[in-house]
Amino acid sequence: LAAAAALLAPATARAQADDNLGACVAELRRELPRRAPVSAASFDEYTRGAQDLRPLIRDASGAQPEFTRKIWDYLARLVDAQRIDDGRALLAREQPALQRVAERERVDAATVVAVFGVETDYGKVRGRHKVIDTTLSRACLRMSSDERRGHFFAALRLLQEGLVAPDDFMGSWAGAFGLTQFMPGTFIQYRTDGDADGRVDIYGSVPDALATTARFLRGLGWVDGRPWGVEVRAPRAVVERWSAAEAQHGCLRGGGERCKRLADWLGLGVAGMGGQALADAAQRLGADTPLALLAPAGADGPAWLVTPNYRALWGYNHADAYALAIGLLSDALRGSTPSSAALQRTPWPTDDPGLSRAGVRELQALLRQRGRCEVTADGADGPLTIAAIRAEEKQRGWPESGRAANRLLAALQKDATAAAAAAPACADAAAAAAPSQASAPPR
């Protein structure tokens, strides 16, 4: 036992040190001489009473939907009819500002609006954590990261210089804030006055948020007029050998064997999906433009040849699901097809597609009809909805996935039709279960 205790002692000491936020704050304060212009007074004022969010951040960082949710579920929510329709309305409403952004920053309107839509659903989803608390906690979780410490000191600088109001300086668990979710240091570097009022407000000014986003994308390497990617067909052997997922497509910026010229991909048997899509893309690409093959669901799913512009989207939030959502949403915003149309020609390799938010709302309402009144029909499948789905799956003898997907929705719809005369178990279930006219069919 004594030997075991001796072995555990260093780990216990480290855990206690990790739990001591005050010690981390003190260590960060010693960096002030090289963190100008942040003053000691500002540091002390804004860290006094800071909340330790490290447990929350640990949990959230391991549950990011970009990495934990099936990609067809992720895209069904992020690029649904509602987001497309809202984005098209915003394109029309903000047309003058977007035209100025495109002329000055050389990033097209659809791409900028797609970022806005994916990040905060056009401003509907706001962060609820103090940015000082989140950036401080993230820095203390990994003191070896100069980037994390830099964002914390940048947050202090924003407050010190009055660029954000203390009561309004709220953001995500990761420390991103504003309509298009910027980390503090990134915002300081790329902030842009889009409405020409002499200040940059990415909380209250849509033009400022869009202009700042465009400037950041350009800084990440966006080239005007170049497509982010084009859907293709590729032989199975080519996908298995050359598909570049996540960081593997870094060759789009720095060279590497997974990136090839269009002529080389064509020589390997990669082909367009019909029509002029690939030919049109080729006209906008230089002969030496590097292209990577992206097949996020493997050889049985859709594939795209992606350009360095895709890598710029990926740089905004390092996840293929995220970058693909922006690319597909931007395509939908540019197009004239119905917002309920399929996002790509090749379907995802599943017999149980994900649901749009309208589909999730209908599923939730039908769960309420069946007596699961703890569920709210809001289109967001949180813990209560997941638990209710698991219970429903268990009752049906299905594997307990907790997924809000097409198979369960169809079963609930069938049951609701068979029991149409029965009184709903929850007071508002009957009205909520009626599908919205604007809802998209499950994809």
Beta bridge partners of 306: 229, 292
Query: What are the helix and strand counts (H, E) for the chain?
Result: 23, 6
Instruction: With residue 230 as reference, give the H or E element that holds it.
Output: strand 229-233
42-76: pLDDT as tens digits: 999 999 999 999 999 999 988 888 888 999 999 99
CA-wise closest residue to 136 among 64, 50, 37: 50
Burial class (CB in 10 A: 0-12, 13-18, 19+), 56: middle
Closest among 126, 84, 92, 128 to 109, alpha carbons compared: 92
* 82/117 Cα distance (integer angstroms): 10
Residue 29's closest CA among 170, 169, 138, 140?
140
The C-alpha atoms of residue 442 and residue 40 are separated, in whole angstroms, by: 55
pLDDT in tens, 201-224: 999 999 999 999 999 999 999 999
Tell me, what's the pLDDT at 18? 45
What phi and psi values does residue 350 have, to the nearest 5 degrees?
-150, 145
Q: What is the DSSP string of 212-254?
A: HHHHHHHHTT--TT--SEEEEE--HHHHHHH---GGGGGHHHH
Higher pLDDT, 77 or 11: 77
- Beta carbons within 8 Å of 168's beta carbon, 6+ residues apart: 203
The pair phi, psi for residue 220, each rounded to 5°, is -85, 0
Instruction: Give the pLDDT score at 420.
Output: 66
Q: In terms of DSSP bridges, do strands 292-294 and 271-272 run parallel, antiparallel, or are they unpaired?
A: unpaired
CB within 8 Å of 94: residues ≥ 6 apart: 113, 206, 207, 210
Predicted structure pTM score: 0.89
Confidence of residue 401 (pLDDT cuts 50, 70, 90): very high
Q: Answer yes or no: is pLDDT of 291 > 70.
A: yes
pLDDT at residue 3 tops 90: no
Nearest to 116 by CA among 210, 214, 219: 210
Alpha carbon 268 to its chain centroid, in Å, reads 33
Rounded-to-integer distance, Cα 277 and Cα 231, Å? 8
The first and second tokens of residue 118, run together, are 């994916």
Cis peptide, bond prior to residue 37, ω within 30 of zero: yes
